[in-house]
Structure 1
Amino acid sequence: MDEHALLGLNPSADATYRQRALAYFEQLKDSQDAWQVCAEALVKGLYNDDHVKFFCFQVLEHQIKFRHAELSAVQQQLIRETLMKWLQLQLNAQPEKAFIRNKAAQVFALAFVTEYLTQWPKFFFDILALIGLNPRGVDLYLRTLMAIDAEVVDRDILHSSEETRRNTLIKDTMREQCIPALVESWYQILHTFQHSHFELTCQCLEVVGAYVSWIDLNLIANDRFVNLLLSHMSVEVLREEACDCLFEIVNKGMDPVDKTKLVESLCQVLQTAGFFNVEQEEDVDFLAKFSRLVNGMGQSLVVSWTKLTKGGDLKRSQEALQALEAKVPLMLRLLVHEDDDISANIVGFCYDYLHVLKQLPLLTDQQKANIEAIMVAVMKKLTYDDEYNFENEGEDEAMFVEYRKQLKLLLDRLAQVSPELLLDSVRRVFNTTMQSWQTVPFMEVEVAIRLLYMLGEALPAHQGAHFSGDVAKASTLQDMMRTLVTCGVSEYQHTSVALEFFETVVRYDKFFIVEPQHIPNVLMAFLDHRGLRNGSPKVRSRVAYLLSRFVKTLHKHMNAYIEDILNRIQDLLELSPPENGYPTLLTSDDQLFVFETAGMLIVGSECPAERKQALMRNLLTPLMEHFKLLLGKLLQEQDEERQAVLADCLNHALGFASRTSKAFSNKQTVKQCGCSEVYRDCLQTFVPALSCPVQREALRSGVRTFLHRMIICLEEEVLPFIPAASEHMLKDCEAKDLQEFIPLINQITTKFKGQVSPFLQQVFMPLVQAFFQVLAQPAEENDQTAALEKQMLRRSYFAFIQTITSNASVNEVIANQGAENIERVLFTIIQGAVDFPDPVAQRACFIILSKLVEHWGGKDGLVGFPDFIYKHIVPACFLAPLKLTFDLSDAQTILTLSECALTLKMIHIKRGPEVIHYLQQEYLPSLHLTPDITQELCQVLQQPDSKVLKNYIKAFFQRAKL
């Protein structure tokens, strides 16, 4: 072997050596017989270096996996002999490192999968005969079995249909030929090594668990095997694996009656052995595994009961139900266990048991008691513990949040089984806690409010109203809500309680429509030290959002307090200048919600328009003044870091102003509220930022977003600002600027149509030229980013032309651009339709061509345009789909083809028999089409249903491309 190349296998070798080792590996892989050097090295133990041994196995692995069919019978035999000789060497040598043993096991498994059905039917017998009960041999045998499981059985690994067929055949053959022998070997290993080699015993238990799903269960589920497994359950180092193994046995799909018997016999033995006394067990890791086993047994009994009930076997289904009920006390003990992992592992059984109860016509007293016990357990387990870190949540906290979600599912299921019982239990817990909240630990207060919150989802609300309809439910919920908002618990000094209070108030905001007298007190809680001015940033942030939700629902009931609220939040609406240096109460993201709230209060109020205008001006004037001030500072600032901070602040101002406009609607427009002037002033203030030479990208983005919003809100009053804004945005623009500017122009065009034609006519060519300039800029040949940017820019350009042809007056906007310019634009569209392999852009081009034909293709259309149709548009409809890059298996391309067909259809509508004559006599013969096909295509084109043409065109080009 190339010793120098082997030096590169060491992880600490330098790059040159590593490169050489890689090249050597490729050489050995590709060679017909060079791999034999590796086989020899393994069999003779020529190398002590672990990396070289691993390398040799990799080379063998490649031969078996990819080149097995090319090897001669002698070479295949050599591989088998190599593996067996290497295995024999291991029996008395020092054990190899685990990573080498694993790789060897993978190679053995590959050899098995490749040769078992043909050349090596005695694979297992050969190995078992060789290793006997030698611990090192047994270790490699068990690792090989797990590697075979990964290759043949593991459902998480995707297999081709051919591999799946092969794997099924392998399993069938193994069942016939060697599974009893393998099972016997497992029993011997478990029995022999249970006191001396715990690691081997655990490995063997894992093998049994993996194979039990597809072998005859009677080979495992018998007295001698189960007794052995149960004896392992009492050995500390073995019992977790034994538990997992029993879980796999219980999980095996089988006849419901047999499954019930199996579970019952297993339970009996476990109970007799004292495993059900979970309170005395201190090993939580084992209990988590045991809980999973009990969960498997419980869910298996539920499946048996379901199958037997559906099959109409009432006697046996009753037996399964009794067996199920007998496990409930154990399930409950595990569910309430203080360790959440143990509890979480039994939730599935608990959930399924409740589903069974839901299907029973009548519940016994015991079953009702079980439901109540589950309820109590869920309420107890929902409670936070002392260690939970609310201000800095880590992995443990995230796990508890996930566990709480599982408990919530149980609560929802309880509500389905017995809503009255759940409502009653929650009311009892809630009222007891609220009566003495001042002296109760935070976790109990939080969970009491949390339960009230959870009822909202657990109990179905009629038309979303929890406070009408079902009188009992409505009055119970109403009583609890009244207690919540009047008992003073909002003063509780803990993050979790504060958050739960506000979440619940907003969850049941409809309560305040029924009892509006509580609104002032709750609003105060939102606005003072309990909410927006809470000591916890987490609470302040969440309350900023929740207040906007609260106001959105109830603004009609807040008329009397609007000005008071606006005064109280005044300081929270300030644009915090970056130079303050002290932390603000709210982040800018939180402030967005406060501005939205202020906007909703003003717009939703019953004040006259003049008052609304005055309030909105008070809200937005400080923003505008700050904006002017900060923009002035930005223009003078030299430090880049400070420039970025100032630009950020200016963008916040734009965002805040934009957010206040979210309150307007079709019923309450800006104009009706008398607020147009205020927003026009905002535009006047903000648009100049577009010409700011520093931080251009950030500011343009902010102003553009504000303009998008104003187009929706201000209607045509925004139009006077568009030309100046466009001029600023088109100055020194780059690809990204153009790409982001086009949606704005498209929005204006779509919304105002003919109204903006004069403006579009003015801006059309400067904009088109800007596109041409940017697209003409040279780029590196392999620069993927630049290529993608150009593709996106082309799409923007075509989207712009498409919007104009579909919404504006084409005659006004395009026809007045001068013949040369029009021609240039038209050629770019033909080019886009044919030359660029981008179906999105091509589709847009055909839509444009179709529209232009519609506008200009008739008798009174644009001069010279019919000529253009015949010379360029008709050929484009054939040349584009004939391109190799036009992929007819791609969905986007098929959409393009449909538009192409519709373009031909539109030409026929506008030019009539003339186009048919042109196609028959001139164009289609030039494509060397037979007269029959030419005739067929022209007939389809003349049919009124365009769907027929679309289908025909698709088939036409599929044939043409064969």
Structure 2
Amino acid sequence: LAIAYFEQLKESHDAWEVCAEALAKSVYSDDHVKFFCFQVLEHQIKYSLNAAQQQLIRETLMKWLQCQLMNTQAEKPFIRNKAAQVFALTFVMEYLTHWPKFFFDILSLVGLNPHGVDIYLRTLMAIDAEVVDRDIVHTAEEVRRNTLIKDNMREHVIPSLVESWYQILGAYQQSHPEITCQCLEVVGAYVSWIDLNLIANDRFVNLLLSQMCVEDLREEACDCLFEIVNKGMDPTDKTKLIESLCQVLQSAGFFNVEQEEDVDFLAKFSRLVNGMGQSLVLSWTKLAKSGDVKVAAETLRALEAKVPLLIKLLVHEDDDISANIVGFCYDYLHVLKQLPLLTDQQKANVEAIMLAVMKKLTYDDEYNFDNEGEDEAMFVEYRKQLKMLLDRLAQVSPELLLEAVRRVFSSTMQTWQTASFMEVEVAIRLLYMLGEALPASHGAHFSGDTAKTSTLQDMMRTLVSCGVSSYQHTSVVLEFFETVVRYDKFFLVEPQHIPNVLMAFLDHRGLRHSSPKVRSRVAYLFSRFVKTLHKHMNAFIEDILTRIQDLLELVPPENGVPALLTSDDQLFVFETAGVLVVNGEGPAERKQALMRSLLMPLTDAFRLLLAKLATEREEERQAVLADCLSHAVGFASRTSKAFSNKQTVKHCGCTEVYRDCLQTFLPALSCPVQRGALRSAVRSFLHRMIICLEEEVLPFIPAASEHMLKDCEPKDLQEFIPLISQITANQVLVSFSLGCSLDALSVLYLQSQVSPFLQQVFMPLVLAIFEVLGRPAEDNDQAAALEKQMLRRSYFTFIQTIASSGMNEVMASQGVENIERVLFTIIQGAVDFPDPIAQKTCFIILSKLVELWGAKDGMVGFPDFIYKHIVPACFLAPLKPTFDLTDAQTVLTLSECALTLKMIHHKRGHEFIQYLQTEYLPSLQVSPEITQELCQVLQQPDVKVLKNYIKVRIQWRKP
């Protein structure tokens, strides 16, 4: 009730005057009432006020401010902030018109009263938010107004404001550090757009530097100096400013960062040094481009002089301090990359940065690998920044980087048994990072020529033979496997190491590691390793399959024993097993036997679980069983990913194995419970089998379709249609999967296989779609409306696939009544539904049907359909109010509409032109001149002319 009352009060015409009086006379002591009064004033100021009301607002604010000067205790911060917002809003509205002396009035009133100065500084920050803050989106009018305000302030008041800041900084340094910090924040905010000479002078800068030595002020002073350094200015002047600052900071001892214990201050100081360094880099870049060689060289020397400080901050044990200097470091390396030759000192700088990066990449003792939280996430992000530096180091001096990593890696691997996990992990990590950092010309590939064995190859040989894969820390083990897979091409050169690495993948170091995180990642990495090196594993196939057999088991829900791998991880293991079987060098009989032994346990378990599901009554238990059944289908499907254009299912003798899987899985479609999950799994398997088994899958589809079309929802149909479309376009898919183009006989063969099936399934599918689309739905049910729209689109795409696949007899064989029903839905989709994506598809279908059946010897009765329905659709669709030519999809629809008209003319010739001139266009009351014009355009060979004409003259109905 109170909130409703206050909102009502806001809208009242005169309530704000009551609030103004209450503030001016300090009527209320309750903080929330005061806050509300300011809210009411704020609301009122945003709307038009007459001159008297404006005057009242100004007087109210000044009286309230005067009261603050007399109070012994300041208002609560939230009230002061709200008051500052109201002051700022009033300033923005009236400074250029009725209150040009805004600042002078406030300054003369508050003097050096701490309560008054506090409000003054808060108001300045609120003004910055209203007028300057680039993160706030302003209208064009507000931008113009803000520009005028800043121009006027620069001309009339900024010098006085700067003087007031100087006085405040000096007066309150000891007594009110919080006010001094506020003032430093104001200076930092305003320095970006005022004359820098007012701030960057000896008097002001010396004051700021003196405050760098005051513990309560130095963080804010650092931020203020950072903003000054970031101010855009002439590169020579910027260099001089930074050099003078650095001299004072260095002489004051700030460069001795190892002696500073306050990490919060050092983080601010590191940010300041980063700003100075990046500014010097920018100045050098500008000077170098301008050809000012001498000054550019001086700037480069100034830049180089900061590198020792950069390295101290980069290597600091606190990651925040280190992270704040990365930008300067990255830019400095970019400068070195552009230099033709590096001096000895610059090479030493590169090496020092390199060592700092290597040290900072190391985990600390507190990193929680088992339960990674915010701190761990921040370190991961910090590592990414260090990775950028490593990449840049590689660009500057790949030889130095390679040698530095080799030195660290070799010394660590020699003593890995006694080294800490952090040292071992980072040594392997550095080897891993070289893969992306080093260009190929510097050894990021492996040569078979032993006389030219790369440093990288030496390190890989050490990695896989020194036994470090047995290290008892997850981070080291994971890094080992990541690196082995990153450099899997190494094993093509030295395949003798494959057996040892395979064992690491398969035993307690990898897939049977005590950590679920390691097992999960290794499952994926193992699949990648095998895909690359399967040609070298023929002798180990049976052994590998035996060792991973228990990992390939479908874990039933009643087992109670936690599985080593999740079902998602098992997918990778099944795919790996499939790759091993398919790519083995043995005969097809061996491959068939291995694949059967891989898939039979799945199908056997599937039958048992499906029988249980059919009799299970408890819903939660049903869901668990259905989930397990879905996994079984998914695992079988994943093994088929191993087949390629060279190793097809037929070639490997595995057709019968997958046919048996299909026969086992299809009964799940008729299961009365958990239909959604089971249908989805079997449907996905059918998609794979259409590619793998080609025409062999067709006998299974009619029965599968019958089950999937029973009691289905829009989503079920929407997901089923692509399956049928895939079969329809099978010759294209088979052509793609075989890596060749099918000859005409092959296409005819596939059509002869697919067409009878499609003729059988076409109308049941279409009728199921009609039934679902015809179901009533509530007007405001947006989700149901969207589902129907998506189903309608899928339906039209399906018809388009049929029409475009060369199997038009599928539709032609459905009987006149059914054909008409389908054709009318296409006309309806082209004209009546405001869905340009569906409309475009419908016009593509109509154009194709005209091409197929529209000739004089085409389908009986179709010419009449063209003139009675297709031609009107081409004219009526663009005339709909919802046909929006500012929409890109609608423009495409219009283009397809024009192509349809062009196709009708191509098939019917002069007869079509005569029909337009004598019957159809006159019926729309189109003038003879426009009719003649349109018919001439329609007969021109370039279809673009027709498209443009229709776009321009879309309102033919008008005479």
Normalised-by-shorter TM-score class = over 0.9
Q: Is the 8 A contact 1:466 1:474 kept in 2?
A: no
Taking only aligned residues, the RMSD between alpha carbons, in angstroms, comes to 1.8
SS at 2:794's partner residue?
helix
Equivalent pairs counted in the alignment come to 939
Aligned pair partner of 1:858 in 855, 858, 861: 855
| 1:392-791 equivalence runs, <5 A | 392-461=371-440, 466-468=445-447, 475-752=454-731, 754=751, 755-791=753-789
Asked whether the equivalents of residues 226 and 275 of structure 2 are also in contact (C-alpha less than 8 Å), the reply is yes
Which residue, out of 887, 891, 899, partners 1:894?
891
Q: Distance in 2 between matches of 1:415 and 1:308?
A: 26
Deviations 1:745-764 (A, max 9, x none): 11111114733222222222
| In structure 1, distance between residues paired with 2:825 and 2:443 | 55
Identify the residue that residue 794 of structure 1 maps to in structure 2: 792
Tell me, in whole angstroms, the C-alpha distance in 2 between the residues paired with 1:469 and 1:264: 54
Q: Give the equivalent residue in structure 2 for 1:16.
A: none
Partner Cα distance (2:867, 2:52) in 1 = 71
Q: Is the 8 A contact 1:449 1:501 kept in 2?
A: yes
The SS at the match of 2:107 is: helix
Task: Tell me what 1:223 maps to.
Answer: 202
Structure 1 equivalent of residue 845 of structure 2:
848
* Equivalent position of 1:3 in the other structure: none
Q: Using the TM superposition, give the Cα deviation of residue 635 of structure 1 relative to its aligned residue in structure 2, in angstroms.
A: 0.8
CA distance in 2 between counterparts of 1:179 and 1:869 reads 77
- Would the alpha carbon gap of residues 58 and 860 (structure 1) be closer, same or farther in structure 2, given more than 3 Å must change? farther
The aligned runs of 1:918-933 (5 Å cut-off) are 918-933=915-930
Q: How does 1:293-304 map to 2 (within 5 A)?
A: 293-304=272-283
The CA deviation string for residues 407-439 of structure 1, in whole angstroms up to 9 with x for no partner, is 111111111111111111110111101111101
1:51 matched residue in structure 2: 32
Rate the CA distance shift 1:23–1:773 in 2: closer, same or farther, 3 A.
Answer: farther
Q: In 1, Cα distance between the equivalents of 2:63 and 2:392?
A: 60
Q: Distance in 1 between matches of 2:839 and 2:7?
A: 45
Give the 3-state SS of the residue equivalent to 2:417 in structure 1: helix
After superposing the two structures, state which structure 1 stretch, 88-97 or 178-187, moved more.
Answer: 88-97
Counterpart pick for 1:307 among 276, 286, 295? 286
1:323 corresponding residue in structure 2: 302
Aligned-residue identity in percent: 83
Aligned to 2:149: 170
Between the aligned partners of 2:957 and 2:684, the Cα distance in structure 1 is: 48
In the TM superposition, what whole-angstrom CA distance separates every residue of 1:10-56 from its partner, at most 9, and x where no partner exists?
Answer: xxxxxxxxx4544443x33xx4x553333333323333333333333
Match of 2:133, SS state, is coil
From 60, 65, 81, the counterpart of 1:82 = 60
2:399 touches 2:442 (CA, 8 Å); kept in 1?
no
One-letter amino acid of the counterpart of residue 826, structure 1: L
Cα distance in 2 for partners of 1:20, 1:783 equals 36
The correspondence for 2:950, drawn from 940, 945, 953, is 953
Retained in 1: the 8 A contact 2:435–2:444?
no
Unaligned runs of at least 5 residues, structure 2: 732-749
Report how far residue 641 of structure 1 moved.
Answer: 0.9
Q: Which residue is equivalent to 1:269?
A: 248
Partner residue in 1 for 2:737: none
Task: Measure how far apart 1:375 and its partner are.
Answer: 0.8
1:13 counterpart residue number: none
Contact 1:95 1:136 in 2 (8 A): yes
Letter in 1 for 2:543: D
1:8 aligns with 2:2: yes
Give the letter for the 2:772 counterpart: V
- C-alpha change, 1:458 and 1:321, in structure 2 (3 Å) is same
Secondary structure of the corresponding residue to residue 837 of structure 1? coil
Conserved in 1, the CA contact under 8 Å of 2:506 and 2:512?
Answer: yes
TM-score, normalised with respect to structure 1: 0.95
The answer to whether the Cα contact below 8 Å between 1:882 and 1:961 also exists between their aligned partners in 2 is no
Q: Deviations over 1:310-352 (max 9, x none)?
A: 1111111111111111111111111111000001111111111
Alignment of 1:43-442 (within 5 A): 43-65=24-46, 67-68=47-48, 71-93=49-71, 94-442=73-421
Change (3 A) 1:133 1:470: farther
Query: Counterparts of 1:824 and 1:807 in 2: how far apart (Å)?
Result: 21
What residue number does 1:805 align with?
A: 803
> What 5-or-longer segments of structure 1 have no aligned partner?
1-6, 10-18
Q: 2:554 is matched by which residue type in structure 1?
A: L
- Secondary structure of the 2:306 match is helix
Of residues 33, 36, 39, the one that matches 2:20 is 39
Hey, what's the Cα distance between the residues in 1 that align with 2:767 and 2:759? 13
Deviations for 1:868-919, whole angstroms, at most 9, x for unmatched residues?
Answer: 2222211111211111111110111111111111111111111111221222
Rounded to whole Å, the distance in 1 between the matches of 2:901 and 2:464 is 69
CA distance in 2, matches of 1:958, 1:349: 62
* Aligned-residue offset at 1:361: 1.6
Q: Is the 8 A contact 2:42 2:89 kept in 1?
A: yes
CA contact (8 A) 1:599 1:616 kept: yes
Letter aligned with residue 99 of structure 2: W
Q: Distance in 1 between matches of 2:894 and 2:438?
A: 52
State the SS of the aligned residue for 1:957: coil
Change (3 A) 1:955 1:38: farther
Cα separation, 2, equivalents of 1:725 and 1:573: 27
Return the alpha-carbon distance in structure 2 between the equivalents of residues 125 and 477 of structure 1.
71
Deviations for 1:265-290, whole angstroms, at most 9, x for unmatched residues? 00011111111111111100000000
Q: Distance in 1 between matches of 2:905 and 2:851?
A: 10
The answer on whether the counterparts of 1:465 and 1:510 sit within 8 Å (CA) in structure 2 is no
Distance in 1, matches of 2:688 and 2:350, equals 53
Question: In 2, are the aligned partners of 1:423 and 1:473 still within 8 Å (CA)?
Answer: no
Question: Could you say what secondary structure the match of 1:814 adopts?
Answer: helix
Q: Given the superposition, is the C-alpha separation of residues 190 and 827 from structure 1 closer, same or farther in structure 2, using an over 3 Å criterion?
A: same
Aligned to 1:821: 818
TM-score, normalised via structure 2 length: 0.96
Query: Residues of 2 paired with 1:86 and 1:20: CA distance?
Result: 24
Which residue, out of 849, 868, 871, partners 2:868? 871
Indicate how the Cα distance of structure 1 residues 579 and 462 shifts in structure 2: closer, same or farther if over 3 A, else same. Answer: farther
Partner Cα distance (2:930, 2:492) in 1? 72
Shift of 1:117: 2.0
Mapped partners of 1:8, 1:833: distance in 2: 56
- CA 1:215–1:746 in 2, change beyond 3 Å: closer, same or farther? same
Mapped to 2, the partners of 1:887 and 1:731 lie a distance apart of: 38
Separation (CA, whole Å) in 2 of partners of 1:958 and 1:131: 70
CA shift for structure 1 position 665: 0.8
**2 CA distance for matches of 1:465 and 1:477?**
7
Q: Counterpart of 1:48 in 2: which secondary structure? A: coil
Shift of the 48–914 alpha-carbon distance from structure 1 to 2, 3 Å rule, reads farther
Q: Structure 2: how far apart are the matches of 1:602 and 1:545? A: 18
Instruction: Give the 3-state SS of the residue equivalent to 1:79 in structure 2.
Output: helix
| 8 Å contact from structure 1 (residues 888, 958) kept in 2 | no
Shift of residue 144 of structure 1? 1.4
Runs (4+) off by over 4 Å: 462-465, 469-474, 958-962
Structure 2 counterpart of 1:333, one-letter code: K
Deviates more, 1:545-554 or 1:842-851: 842-851
Secondary structure in 2 matching 1:682: helix
> Residues 542 and 493 from structure 1, CA distance in 2 versus in 1: closer, same or farther, beyond 3 angstroms?
same
Amino acid across the alignment from 1:99: F
2:695–2:754 Cα contact (<8 Å) kept:
no
Matching residue of 1:912: 909
Q: CA deviation at 1:608?
A: 1.2
Report Cα offsets for 1:629-662 as digits up to 9, x if no partner.
Answer: 1111111111111111111111111111111111
